[in-house]
Chains A and B, each alone.
Chain A
Amino acid sequence: MQAWIEKVSKMFEMAFITEDRWKLYLSGLGVTLKVALLAAVLGLAIGTIVALMKLSTNKQGKRTIWSYIANAYIDIIRGTPSVLQLLIMWFIIMKSCKNGVLVAVLSFGINSGAYVAEIVRAGILAVDKGQTEAGRSLGLSKSQTMLYIVIPQAIKNVLPPIGNEFIVLLKETAIVGYVSLSDLTRVANQVSSRTYEAFMPLIGAAVIYFVIIKILTILLNKLERRLRKSDNR
Chain B
Amino acid sequence: MIIVKDLHKTFENNHVLRGVDYHVHQGEKIVVVGPSGSGKSTFLRCLNLLETPTSGEIWFDGQKITDSKVDIDKIRQHMGMVFQNFNLFNNLSIMDNITLAPVKLKLMNKEEACENALSLLTRVGLKEKADAYPSQLSGGQKQRIAIVRSLAMNPKVMLFDEPTSALDPEMVGEVLDVMKELAKSGMTMVVVTHEMGFAREVGTKVLFMDEGIIMEENTPAEFFNNPQCQRLQDFLSKVL
Minimum distance in angstroms from B191 CB to a CB of chain A: 15
Indicate whether B109 reaches chain A with its CB closer than 8 angstroms: no
CA distance A148 to B99 in the complex (A): 12
Indicate whether B60 reaches chain A with its CB closer than 8 angstroms: no
Q: Return the contact of A139 from the options B85, B89, B101, B146 (Cβ within 8 A).
A: B101
Known: A139-B74, A139-B76. A131 touches B105 (CB 8 A): no
Number of chain A residues close to chain B: CB under 8 A: 23
Minimum distance in angstroms from A145 CB to a CB of chain B: 10
Indicate whether A198 reaches chain B with its CB closer than 8 angstroms: no
**What 1/0 mask marks residues of chain A from 120 to 139 whose CB sits below 8 Å from any chain B CB?**
00000000101101111111
A residues 104-147 near B (Cβ < 8 Å) are: 128, 130-131, 133-141, 144
Prevailing SS type, chain B contact patch: loop
Chain B interface size, as a band, is 20 to 34
CA distance A216 to B104 in the complex (A): 37
CA distance A128 to B105 in the complex (A): 23
Prevailing SS type, chain A contact patch: helix
- Would A60 and B136 count as touching, CB distance under 8 A? no
CA distance A110 to B100 in the complex (A): 35
Q: Return the contact of B150 from the options A61, A138, A152, A232 (Cβ within 8 A).
A: A138
Interface centre among A130, A133, A138, A140 (most CB of B within 10 A): A138
B residues 36-76 near A (Cβ < 8 Å) are: 48, 50, 52, 68, 73-76
28 contacts between A and B (CB under 8 A): A59-B68, A60-B52, A61-B52, A128-B87, A130-B83, A131-B89, A134-B81, A134-B83, A134-B87, A134-B89, A135-B89, A137-B48, A137-B79, A137-B150, A138-B80, A138-B100, A138-B153, A139-B74, A139-B101, A139-B153, A140-B104, A141-B73, A144-B104, A148-B89, A149-B89, A153-B90, A153-B91, A233-B135
Show the binding face of B for A, using Cβ within 8 Å. Answer: 48, 50, 52, 68, 73-81, 83, 85, 87-92, 100-101, 104-105, 132-133, 135-136, 146, 149-150, 153
